[in-house]
Amino acid sequence: MNLKMYMMNEMNFDRIEDFLDGDLTESQLKQFEKELLEDSDLQMELDLHMEVNEAIMEQDVMDLRNKLEAIEIPSNPTQKRKLKFLTKWNIAAASLAFIIGLGSLMYIVNNRSSYSNDKIFSNYYKPYNVVINTRSSDIMIDNLLVTALKSYETKDYRTALTLFKKILDKDSTNITGNFYSGISNIEINEYSKANKNFSRVLKHKNNLFIEQSEWYLGFCYLMTNEKEKALKQFHVIAQGNSFYKTKALEIINRLE
């Protein structure tokens, strides 16, 4: 076992052990995960703890083998055969437990780093439900919006986009029209167009769809293979207090 050697931060020791044992409170866990994303030294210390734990598991198997081999062998042939069988069984069981544990750890590590953009998208993306948050001063736009959202609800995204376009031709800053156009464009794989829709929503700052647009914009970058922009976008979400914060942290961990 090739362990990295460097000085441990004593203040982090207990927190890392509590993290690995699942003993952190919800608020402590959030704070720890935040620091883990920002502090490379803390990440290295966590890796060291995990490697030490693996080494201890391996040493436990070796100690068990030594202890079992040191047991006095009885003279009775029947008892001797029974002890020999039990010795082999215990060593095999301990070795198997170690192999399973190590295999599970390797699966988690490899799985964490092998998440593709498509897999993250399929695991975390889902279209947003319909919410009509504002009324315009234009009755025609209101009527078009209602009709467009009905098409959106029935997953007829191309029809919805045609109707949203009519709204945006009259008012390119319409928040609801831009937001749901963005989702509709994602649904038909037009990620660059969706990007423009969400960017317009974000330019207006104070509106109902800011946090949602930040979230969906991250997926647009993912699906256009702009990984660095996607990471930056999900970091913005992770550093805030939106509904999507925890999921953004999970995605960051799978991308980095």
Question: What DSSP string runs through 185-212?
Answer: HHHTT-HHHHHHHHHHHHHT-SSTTHHH
The answer to whether 201 and 182 have CB atoms below 8 angstroms apart is: yes
The answer to whether residues 187 and 194 touch, using CB atoms and an 8 Å cutoff, is no
What are the backbone dihedrals phi and psi of residue 73, each rounded to the nearest 5 degrees, phi first?
A: -85, 125
Q: Which residues of 98-108 are buried (b: 16+ CB within 10 A; e: fewer)?
A: beeeeeeeeee
User: Could you tell me which residue, 170 or 109, shows the higher pLDDT?
Assistant: 170
Mean pLDDT of 34-41: 75
**Confidence class for position 160, pLDDT limits 50, 70, 90:** very high
Give the mean pLDDT of 155-160. 97
Element (H, E) at 164: helix 157-170
Q: How far apart are the first and last CA of the chain?
A: 24
Q: What pLDDT is recorded for position 256?
A: 80
Ranking 8-17, 67-76, 205-214 by mean pLDDT, the lowest is 67-76
Q: What is the mean pLDDT of residues 131-142?
A: 59
Amino acid at position 106, single letter: M
Give burial (CB, 10 Å; 0-12/13-18/19+) of 85: exposed
CA–CA dist 226, 44 (Å, integer): 27
* 8 vs 9, more confident: 9
HEC string of 87-101? HHHHHHHHHHHHHHH
Mean pLDDT within 187-216:
95
With a CB cutoff of 8 Å and minimum separation 6, the contacts of 57 are 98, 101, 102
**Which range, of 67-76, 110-119, 202-211, averages the lowest pLDDT?**
67-76
Q: What is the pTM of this model?
A: 0.55
Query: d(Cα 238, Cα 242) in Å, to the nearest integer?
Result: 8
Confidence of residue 25 (pLDDT cuts 50, 70, 90): confident
Confidence check: pLDDT of 64 > 90: no
Tokens at residue 174, please? 């319409």
Residue 80: what residue type?
Answer: K
